[in-house]
Amino acid sequence: MALMYETEDMLKAKHRYRDRHFEGTDEEWDVCLERSTTLYVGNLSFNTTEEQIYALFSRAGGVVRIIMGLDRITKTPCGFCFVEYETRME
């Protein structure tokens, strides 16, 4: 039977993702993550607009900016975005 709930060890293992271009220590990486106000949103429809993202995520707090992932050639949305909030608490 599959696990219904994740254990604390499983959550810690997922947290160990690290940007390979980051040149600091693990502790510095953790501090940066704790201060980050940017949220990654994936698995979006290619038809999702920036206005739709703003309408949904502004319910949680003040949105500073939205960065839509775009196809390099066609410059159309490709299914993900980043939402930056004013503060981390939002």
Q: What is the pTM of this model?
A: 0.75
Per-residue pLDDT tens listing for the chain (90 residues): 455 556 666 555 555 677 889 899 888 988 888 899 999 999 999 999 999 999 999 999 999 999 999 999 999 999 999 999 999 886
Q: What is the pLDDT of residue 18?
A: 77
Q: What is the pLDDT of residue 4?
A: 57
Q: What is the pLDDT of residue 1?
A: 47
DSSP string of 21-88, one letter each residue: T--S-HHHHHHHHHH--EEEE-S--TT--HHHHHHHHTTSS-EEEEEEEE-TTT--EEEEEEEEESST
